[in-house]
């Protein structure tokens, strides 16, 4: 169907030059992963500046819709992070997250999104180095993929 009157639509979003810096959105539960990220900071562990953290009470507050929305609004990658199984401050929130995210990831993969773009991690409050490493690796993953073609 024609899409007339669309002469004012947005510009081409592809920016495949060398200096490509992906945008990574991360949703972190405040008890474990966010505290882990704080610990990485306390330890002055360096990691790429591409990540933007959104703090939520529990990983179970991370609506899969938010991940979808992040991608729609131009995030190149999304990370969901919570407490290790059994460590949830609310005892079982992260178990639900795990089910939801697995399904979301499977669906997105089926729709053609590279699985590296949406990832999940368990990072405890004591795993500062792990947090830094996760961000490091995912940023690299996404850099190697380039922007999502739309």
Partner 1 sequence: MTRIGVFVCWCGSNIASTVDVEKVAELAADLPGVAYSTTYKYMCSDPGQKLIAEAIKEHDLDRAVVAACSPSLHEPTFRGCLENEGLNPYMLEIANIREQCSWVHTDRDEATEKALDLIAMAVAKVAHNAPLVAGSIPVTRRALIIGGGISGIQAAIDVGLAGYEAVIVEREPSIGGRMAQFDKTFPTLDCAACILTPKMVAVSRNPNIKIYTHAEVEEVTGYVGNYVAKIRLRARSVDADKCTGCGTCWQKCPKRVSSEFDQHLGMRKAIHIPFPQAVPRVPVIDRDNCLYFQRGKCRICETSCEVGAVDFEQEDEVIEEKFGAIIVATGFTTFDHSTYKEYGAGQLKDVITGLQFERMVNSSGPTGGRILRPSDGKEVNTVVFIACVGSRDRAKGVAYCSRLCCMYTAKHGLLFKEHNPDGQAYVFYMDIRAAGKNYEEFVRRAQEEFGVNYLRGRVSRIFEEDGQLVVRGADTLSGTQVEVKADLVVLATALIARDDAVDVARMLGIPYDENRLFTEGHPKLAPVETVTSGVFLTGACQAPKDIPDTVATASAASAKALALFSSDVLTGEPMVSCIDTSLCSGCFACQEVCPFGAIEAVEIRDAMTRENKEVAHVIESLCHGCGNCTVVCRAGAPNLAGFSHEQILAELLAV
Partner 2 sequence: MKEITKKIRKEARKLLKDGRADLVIGYEQGSDEEVATPCFITDVSQVDRLVFDEHCYHNLAKYLVGQEGYLTSRFVAQEKRPRVAIVATPATMRSIVGLIQEHQFARDKLIILGILDGTLVGIEPDVVVGQIEEDQEKSARIQAQVREIEEMTASERWAWWEEQFSRCIRCYACRQVCPFCYCEQCISDENQPQWIGKSSSPENNRTWNIIRALHLVGRCTDCGECDRVCPVDIPLSLLAVKMAGEVEEAFDYKAGADVDAKPALHSFRPDDPDDFIR
Partner 3 sequence: MEAKLLQREKLSQLVDALLEDHEVVAPTSDLAYGQIRSGAELHLSDNKPTQSLKGFFFPPREVLFESRRTEDGLELVPSSSSDAPRVIVAARPCDVASLPVLDKLFGWDYQDSSYFQRRQRTTIISLACDPPPKDCFCVSLGGSPAGIEGSDLLLTPLRDAYHVLIITERGKALVEKYAQFFEESDEQHNQERARLEDEWRAQVTKEIDADRLREALDFDSGAWEMLAQQCVDCAICTFLCPTCHCFDIQDEGDNAHAIRLRLWDSCARQDFTEMAVHQPRPNHFSRYRQRLMHKFKYYPENFGRVLCVGCGRCIQYCPAGVDITKALERAVEQR
Query: Where on the chain is the footprint of partner 3 (CB under 8 A)?
Result: 1-9
Q: How far is the CB of 77 from partner 2 (least distance, A)?
A: 13
100, 64 in Cβ contact below 8 A? Answer: yes
State which of residues 75, 118, 142, 148 lies at the interface with partner 1 (CB under 8 A): 75
**Is residue 90 at the binding interface for partner 2, with CB under 8 A as the rule?**
no
**Is residue 49 at the binding interface for partner 1, with CB under 8 A as the rule?**
yes
Residues 6+ apart with CB under 8 A from 47: 40, 131, 132, 133, 135, 136, 139
Number of shown-chain residues binding partner 1 (CB under 8 A): 41
DSSP state of 104: H
- Tokens 């380039």 sit at which residue? 146
Q: How far is the CB of 9 from partner 3 (least distance, A)?
A: 7
Residues 79-98 within binding reach of partner 1 (CB under 8 A): 89-93, 96
23, 76 in Cβ contact below 8 A? Answer: yes
Residue 27, beta-bridge partner list: 54, 80
103 touches which of partner 2, partner 1, partner 3, none (CB within 5 to 8 A by kind)? partner 2
**Is residue 11 at the binding interface for partner 2, with CB under 8 A as the rule?**
no
From the centroid of its chain, how far is CA 108?
14
Half-sphere exposure of 45 (CA within 13 A, CB side): 17
Q: Closer to partner 3 at the Cβ: 44 or 73? A: 73
**Site of interaction with partner 2 (CB under 8 A):** 1, 64-65, 68-69, 72, 85-86, 92, 95-96, 98-100, 102-114, 119-122, 134, 137, 149-150
């Amino acid at each position: 169907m024609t899409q007339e009157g669309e002469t004012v639509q947005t510009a081409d979003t592809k920016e495949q030059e060398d200096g490509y810096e992906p945008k990574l959105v991360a949703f972190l539960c405040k008890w474990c992963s966010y505290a882990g990220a704080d610990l990485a900071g306390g330890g002055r562990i360096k990691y790429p500046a591409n990540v933007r953290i959104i703090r939520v009470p529990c990983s179970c507050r991370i609506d899969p819709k938010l991940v979808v929305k992040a991608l729609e609004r131009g995030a190149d990658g999304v990370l969901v992070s919570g407490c290790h199984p059994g460590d949830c401050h609310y005892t079982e929130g992260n178990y639900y997250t795990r089910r939801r995210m697995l399904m979301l990831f499977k669906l997105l993969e089926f729709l053609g999104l590279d699985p590296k773009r949406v990832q999940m991690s368990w990072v405890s409050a004591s795993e500062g180095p792990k947090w830094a490493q996760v961000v490091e690796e995912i940023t690299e993953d996404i850099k190697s993929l380039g922007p999502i073609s739309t």
